[in-house]
Amino acid sequence: MSRTVLALGAALVTAAGCVWYLPALADLRAGADRTVSRRTAAAATVSGWTTLAVVAALLLVTRAWWIPCAAALLGAAVTGGVRARAIVQRRRETRETARQWAELRAGTVRDRVDHSRGVFVVVVACGLAMAALTAVMTLAAGPEDSLHWVLAVAAPAVVVGLFLTAAITCTHVSRRTTTSHARASR
């Protein structure tokens, strides 16, 4: 009678434990979308709850007490080992993430990218100012025929195009230099 009560109690606790093992199964099913440590911890969770379910079944099926006890000890050892591995993996991932963030904070990549954006904006702004000055000077000279009017419109457009090309070239060279410095620093 007491084995049946223990088996039913273990089965009910296993059923109630779905709030832990169902999310763990989802983590395992997600595969590479989850970190290695999270998947290992999920495997430990599933292992622990499976052990309890096996013990509940063994309590109903076998007469000897040592069989469910041995299954419980073996399952606890496996679960503990897998969980310890998950903890070690999590610490390793945390250190790796901290190292990568430190490289980003200390690295010149971010500073130079921001610098290249500033250079781009300044060069384009100078180009627009020069185009406006060219347009004002051309119109102040008083265009007389249609060719002069076309020149009054085309000259500022050419100036803006030249400065925009220069800004793109400066940004491209700056980013290429940043990439080569970042590779060399590793």
Residue among 114, 128, 124, 116 at smallest CA distance from 170: 116
Residue among 116, 121, 128 at smallest CA distance from 161: 128
- Alpha helices by DSSP H, listed for the chain, are 2-16, 18-30, 36-61, 66-106, 109-140, 146-185
Which letter does DSSP use for residue 141 in this model? T
pLDDT of residue 147: 77
Q: Is the pLDDT of residue 102 over 70?
A: yes
Token pair for 20: 């832990």
pLDDT of residue 163: 84
For the chain, percent of residues with pLDDT exceeding 90: 36
Q: Is the pLDDT of residue 112 over 70?
A: no
| pLDDT per position as a tens digit, 139-159 | 777 777 777 777 777 888 888
Predicted TM-score (pTM) of this structure:
0.55
Burial 102-133 (b: 16+ CB within 10 A, else e): eeeeeeebeebeeebeebbeebbeebeeebee
- Could you tell me which residues come within 8 angstroms of residue 67 by beta carbon, excluding any fewer than 6 positions away? 58
| pLDDT per position as a tens digit, 13-61 | 989 988 888 999 999 999 889 999 999 999 999 999 999 999 999 999 9
Per the prediction, the chain carries an average pLDDT of 83
